[in-house]
């Protein structure tokens, strides 16, 4: 009798765990299918957005203003391969030319209508450019500039300089490959979704945001749409459609809206004109830039608004998602939860984020303008630095971005408190009834 009881008890637990295992497996399959459908629909909608808006605002400029070693050349970049070095000429001091070395070489055009043709190309070096520009070498794949200014209609070809003539993408592709491999190894499926969201973010900026600005579309509305796109696509792909995604999205967008309003107010307070030019700088540094279409003028305040939103977007997304995830864990593992306790937890967790994230954002802005800051420190007085509009706007952008990130913490905490505790609140009302 005792043996039968043990046997029946064993069978009971065996069947119980077997049933639970099947339930967990079925639940996992259902969730996986749901997750895959969500990812698929999100990707389709994200790509359609880029295709539709990108096609509407398509912009192509095959010409570019570039500086070769001696002259500013307005022309077309063409991919070519150096086949021979024909002549190296060193002018005498009596000639007083603008260059100290002139290299004549033959290059074969590799792309375009003139593919396969061999052309004569000039490279000029002077005392200034010879310190950082290299003499072209046989066999190198480079980009040359085709300039159509000759009276006989024949184009002239120039070596554009190291900044444009050499392919820089080999090292960039290698670094990107390392990042992708590390993401896949460490984060696995999450890493893959992160890569996809990053690619979609880059595509919407390159093919939607920038061409739309050039074509004169309202920058304020445009950057908000693109910000919503980036936030929604990234959070849905990485987190999924759930309360955590909702809280992070609302907190992030609220912080960005406040930063945008603050940016507009700040521009008015600092009396920004948007145009900065100082003789001696190789490129004209402008925040206000007229389009190639004379009827379109790009709005300075809108452009700074857009750059502020984009600059702060990554950090604000990081803070809002990290905070909403942490508060979700606190809510799930706490027996006693309330609106006030959740908000307090959010403020406590946010305190640890603020220090490092603000430093990260400020340092990113400083690094982006480091070369120009060094040039000013070397060639201009301290008074010029503090009076420079370019520096003032750059500092304002960094501060506005940091403020947006700090404001995101209380906003996300409050949103999480209401969303996560909604279920408990409903339960309490039912119990009172």
In Å, the largest CA–CA distance within the chain is: 120
| Token pair for 382 | 């301290």
Measured torsion, CA atoms of residues 152, 158, 160, 166, in degrees rounded to the nearest 10: 130
Three-state DSSP class for 387? helix
Q: Quick one: how many helices (H) and strands (E) in the chain?
A: 13, 6
- Give the number of residues written for the chain: 433
pLDDT, position 61:
53
Q: Kindly state the average pLDDT of the residues 245-267.
A: 88
Label the pairing between strands 101-109 and 72-89: antiparallel
Residues sharing a CB contact under 8 Å with residue 105, sequence separation 6 or more, in sequence order: 82, 83, 84, 85, 86, 120, 121, 123, 136, 138, 159
Q: In whole angstroms, give the CA distance from residue 52 to residue 219.
A: 18
pLDDT of 323 strictly over 50:
yes
* Least reliable range by pLDDT among 252-266, 310-324, 372-386: 372-386
By CB neighbour count within 10 A (0-12 exposed, 13-18 middle, 19+ buried), where does 9 fall? exposed
For the whole model, what pTM was predicted?
0.73
Q: In whole angstroms, give the CA distance from residue 255 to residue 405.
A: 7
pLDDT of 7 strictly over 60:
no
Relative orientation angle of helices 2-56 and 189-204, to the nearest 10 degrees: 10
Q: In whole angstroms, give the CA distance from residue 200 to residue 178.
A: 19
Q: Bigger pLDDT: 123 or 6?
A: 123
- Domain residue limits, the chain: 63-165, 216-432
Tell me which of 3.40.720, 2.60.40, 2.40.50, 3.40.50 is the CATH number of domain 63-165: 2.40.50
pLDDT tens column, 203-217 = 999 888 888 887 778
| Token pair for 90 | 């060193």
Does residue 297 contact residue 214 with C-beta atoms inside 8 Å? Answer: no
Q: Bigger pLDDT: 72 or 200?
A: 200
Buried b (16+ CB within 10 A) or exposed e, 85-110: eeeeeeeeeeeeeebbbbbebbbbbe
Sign of the torsion angle spanned by Cα atoms 188, 194, 197, 198: negative
pLDDT, position 283:
41
| Radius of gyration for the alpha carbons in the chain, expressed in angstroms and rounded | 30
Q: Kindly state the average pLDDT of the residues 76-80.
A: 82
Q: Angle 412-414-416 (CA atoms, 0-180°, nearest 5)? A: 65
pLDDT, position 22:
58
Q: Kindly state the average pLDDT of the residues 299-322.
A: 83
Q: Kindly state the average pLDDT of the residues 28-47.
A: 76
Residue 106 β-bridge partners: 84, 120
Does residue 107 contact residue 165 with C-beta atoms inside 8 Å? Answer: no
Q: In 3D, which of 348, 365, 371 has the Cα closest to residue 308?
A: 365
What is the pLDDT confidence band of residue 65, given thresholds at 50, 70 and 90?
very low
Tell me which of 1.20.1640, 3.10.620, 1.10.287, 1.10.10 is the CATH number of domain 216-432: 1.20.1640
Q: In 3D, which of 238, 168, 242 has the Cα closest to residue 419?
A: 242
Does residue 75 contact residue 66 with C-beta atoms inside 8 Å? Answer: yes
């Amino acid at each position: 009798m005792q043996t039968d009881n043990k046997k029946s008890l064993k069978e009971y637990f065996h069947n119980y765990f077997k049933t639970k295992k099947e339930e967990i497996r079925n639940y996992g399959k259902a969730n996986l299918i749901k997750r895959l459908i969500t990812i698929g629909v999100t990707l389709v909608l994200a790509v359609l957005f880029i295709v539709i808006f990108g096609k509407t605002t398509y912009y192509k400029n095959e010409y570019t203003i570039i500086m070769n070693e001696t002259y500013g050349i307005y022309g077309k970049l063409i991919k070519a391969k150096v086949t021979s070095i024909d002549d190296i000429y060193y002018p005498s001091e009596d000639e007083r030319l603008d260059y100290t070395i002139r290299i004549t070489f033959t290059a074969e055009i590799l792309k375009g209508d003139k593919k396969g043709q061999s052309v004569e190309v000039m490279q000029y070096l002077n005392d200034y450019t010879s310190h950082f520009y290299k003499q072209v070498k046989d066999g190198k794949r480079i980009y040359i500039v085709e300039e159509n200014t000759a009276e006989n209609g024949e184009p002239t070809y120039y070596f554009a300089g190291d900044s444009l003539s050499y392919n820089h993408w080999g090292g960039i592709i290698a670094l990107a490959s390392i990042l992708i491999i590390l993401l896949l190894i460490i984060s696995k499926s999450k890493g893959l979704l992160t890569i996809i969201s990053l690619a979609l973010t880059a595509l919407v900026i390159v093919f939607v945001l920038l061409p739309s600005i050039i074509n004169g579309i309202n920058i304020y509305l445009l950057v908000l749409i693109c910000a919503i796109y980036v936030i929604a696509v990234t959070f849905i792909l990485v987190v999924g459609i759930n309360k955590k995604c909702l809280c992070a999205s609302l907190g992030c967008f609220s912080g960005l809206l406040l930063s945008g309003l603050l940016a507009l107010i700040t521009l008015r307070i600092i009396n920004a004109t948007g145009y900065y030019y100082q003789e001696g700088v190789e490129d004209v540094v402008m925040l206000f830039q007229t389009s190639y279409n004379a009827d379109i003028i790009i709005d300075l305040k809108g452009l700074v608004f857009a750059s502020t939103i984009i600059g702060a977007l990554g950090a604000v997304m990081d803070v809002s998602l990290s905070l909403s995830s942490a508060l979700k864990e606190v809510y799930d593992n706490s027996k006693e939860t309330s609106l006030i306790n959740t908000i307090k937890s959010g403020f406590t967790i946010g305190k640890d984020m603020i220090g490092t994230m603000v430093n990260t954002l400020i340092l990113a802005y400083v690094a982006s303008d480091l070369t120009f800051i060094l040039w000013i420190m070397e060639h201009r007085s301290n008074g010029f630095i503090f009076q420079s509009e370019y520096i003032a706007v750059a500092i304002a952008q960094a501060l506005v971005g940091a403020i947006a990130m700090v404001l995101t913490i209380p906003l996300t905490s409050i949103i999480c408190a209401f969303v996560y505790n909604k279920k408990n609140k409903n339960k309490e009302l039912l119990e009172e009834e």
